[in-house]
Amino acid sequence: MSLLAVEDALQRILEGIRPTETESVPVAQADGRVLAEPLAATRTQPPWATSAMDGYAVRGADVAEAATLNLIGQSAAGHRFEGELKPGETVRIFTGAPLPAGADTIVIQENVGVDGDLITMPATETGRFVRPLGLDFTQGDELLREAEILSSVRIALAAAMGYSQLPVRRKPVFAVLSTGDELVLPGEKIGPDQIIASNNFGVAALLRAQGGASVDLGIAPDDPDAIAAKLRIAMDGGADVLVTTGGASVGDHDYVQDVLTSLGVEIGFWKIAMRPGKPLMFGRCGGKIFIGLPGNPVSALVCARVFLVPLVRALLGLDAAETYEDAILGADLPANDQRQDYLRATLARENGKLVATPFSRQDSSMLATLGQSDALIVRPPHAPAASSGMPCKVLRMQAIT
Ligand code: AMP
Ligand code: MG
């Protein structure tokens, strides 16, 4: 199989992806979830004309010129004044309280003179400090759209619209497996030839930050039966996507492709024109998606950023298209070969321009430089040499966590 272009690989992964089903969640637990249906207000807000201030409800005609009015009662939030305001009368009123029948204007309390039940009013324009019925929204107004991410503000709005439960997309479940005899979990006893597994944590965190759910399958040794056993658990357990890291190349100890084939996975591709991340594997089986990420930590996380983030978005019914930002290079770059390059870089604002400065060493094992990067400079295949100050495209890394 020849090297597949990144865009083609992504297109194949996203082909035929349908959003997950709808589930209902309490509004108190819906933050960050994706709305599965448009929502219309079940009520009108405010449901009656209401006072915007603490003061006195009056008839505008009474206070067109200064006047003294008779206090006949009060209207507080949650406790309306039941009577009707007649000419020459006023009702004490507080913010959020319904306007009494007959009243159309509020005079703020700071501006009146009080002498027992006689209230002296300043000249006031009719309609001041009244919030009319439906100022905010009206029953039936479609205020939230399908495929909107429920931010704090939208959660508040949905609650105000009368929803205690919200229809959201089920979180797509990603099962993540690390493979390698050399791997141990952080905190575990570590042998002389071992290193700490990190990919699984980073990949799972990235997926969760995008609205997915993750299942940690732990570490499988470089043994086809052990890898297959772990994957079978996830296949039976309802994962939508099975993600492995490591063991995806052509070394003697790379078993992922054989294992996937033995499980009946139809391999779509397993090598792409990308650096870091050439040995990326993709397949499908029984409605499930299999992604074999490379083992090198930077390759694993950059491939997760480039392929799994759009996949989560597509599974949530969101637009999967990527936003590349324009920047200028902070260093010279040599001509590129046939692989699309993703260079770790820092970003800085200089004279209003975004400057992307690549790290001088880009080895795919160097996780520390990825940790210090703000973005990846994306260089298309065969890009000519470029000098500092020339335009480039960047893909945010940290902003997307
Ligand atoms: P592999 O793709 O299995 O040949 O692994 C490539 C490199 O990535 C090796 O140096 C592995 O030790 C390393 N590696 C593989 N899996 C992980 C992991 N989960 N966390 C950190 N490093 C890993
Ligand atoms: Mg390995």
The reply to whether ligand 1 has any atom less than 6 angstroms from the CB of 54 is: no
The reply to whether ligand 1 has any atom less than 6 angstroms from the CB of 292 is: no
**Which ligand 1 atom is the nearest neighbour of the CA of 279?**
2
Amino acid at 381: P
CA atoms of 58 and 336, how far apart (whole Å): 76
Q: Which of 182, 200, 245, 259 to mutate to test the pocket of ligand 1 (most atoms within 8 A of CB)?
A: 245
Cα 20 from chain centroid (whole Å): 16
Nearest CA to ligand 1 atom 6: 295
CA atoms of 191 and 183, how far apart (whole Å): 9
**Which ligand 1 atom is the nearest neighbour of the CA of 251?**
4
CA atoms of 185 and 1, how far apart (whole Å): 34
Least distant ligand from the CA of 196: 1
Least distant ligand from the CA of 218: 1
Reported pTM: 0.93
The reply to whether ligand 1 has any atom less than 6 angstroms from the CB of 295 is: yes
342 burial type by CB count under 10 A (0-12 exposed, 13-18 middle, 19+ buried)? buried
Domains identified in the chain and CATH numbers: 6-20+171-315 (3.40.980.10), 32-45+137-169 (3.90.105), 50-131 (2.170.190.11), 325-396 (2.40.340.10)
pLDDT of residue 331: 98
pLDDT of residue 236: 92
The reply to whether ligand 1 has any atom less than 6 angstroms from the CB of 178 is: yes
Q: Which two tokens stand for residue 206?
A: 């990235």
- Residue recorded with tokens 């865009």: 7
**Which ligand 1 atom is the nearest neighbour of the CA of 200?**
19
**Which ligand 1 atom is the nearest neighbour of the CA of 195?**
12
The reply to whether ligand 1 has any atom less than 6 angstroms from the CB of 249 is: yes
Nearest CA to ligand 1 atom 23: 295
**Which ligand 1 atom is the nearest neighbour of the CA of 248?**
2
The reply to whether ligand 1 has any atom less than 6 angstroms from the CB of 198 is: yes
Least distant ligand from the CA of 294: 1
Who contacts 227 (Cβ-Cβ below 8 Å, separation ≥6)? 177, 179, 220, 244, 247, 255, 256, 259
**HEC secondary structure over the chain:** CCCECHHHHHHHHHCCCCCCCEEEEEHHHCCCCEECCCEECCCCECCCCEECCCEEEECHHHHCCCEEEEEEEEEECCECCCCECCCCEEEEECCCCECCECCCEEEEHHHCEEECCEEEECCCCCCCCEECCCCCECCCCEEECCCCECCHHHHHHHHHCCCCEEEEECCCEEEEEEECCCEECCCCCCCCCCEECCHHHHHHHHHHHCCCEEEEEEEECCCHHHHHHHHHHHHHCCCCEEEEECCCCCCCCCCHHHHHHHCCCEEEECCECEECCCCCEEEEECCEEEEEECCCHHHHHHHHHHHHHHHHHHHCCCCCCCCCEEEEECCCECCCCCCEEEEEEEEEEECCEEEEEECCCCCCCCHHHHHCCCEEEEECCCCCCECCCCEEEEEECHHHC
pLDDT of residue 353: 94
How far, in Å, from the CA of 255 to the mean position of ligand 1? 13
Inter-residue long-range contacts of 282-286, CB under 8 Å, 24+ positions, other chains counted: 282/9, 282/12, 282/13, 282/307, 285/235, 285/260, 286/235
How far, in Å, from the CA of 293 to the mean position of ligand 1? 10
How far, in Å, from the CA of 246 to the mean position of ligand 1? 5
How far, in Å, from the CA of 11 to the mean position of ligand 2? 27
**Which ligand 1 atom is the nearest neighbour of the CA of 219?**
19
How far, in Å, from the CA of 249 to the mean position of ligand 2? 8
Q: Which of 195, 227, 257 to mutate to test the pocket of ligand 1 (most atoms within 8 A of CB)?
A: 195
pLDDT of residue 336: 97
Least distant ligand from the CA of 293: 1
The reply to whether ligand 1 has any atom less than 6 angstroms from the CB of 296 is: yes
How far, in Å, from the CA of 77 to the mean position of ligand 1? 63
Output the tens digit of pLDDT for each of the chain's 401 residues: 578 999 999 999 999 999 999 999 999 999 999 999 999 999 999 999 999 999 999 999 999 888 999 999 999 999 999 999 999 999 999 999 999 999 999 999 999 999 999 999 999 999 999 999 999 999 999 999 999 999 999 999 999 999 999 999 999 999 999 999 999 999 999 999 999 999 999 999 999 999 999 999 999 999 999 999 999 999 999 899 999 999 988 888 889 999 999 999 999 988 999 999 989 999 999 999 999 999 999 999 999 999 999 999 999 999 999 989 999 999 999 999 999 999 999 999 999 999 999 999 999 999 999 999 999 999 999 999 999 999 999 999 865 55
How far, in Å, from the CA of 300 to the mean position of ligand 1? 9
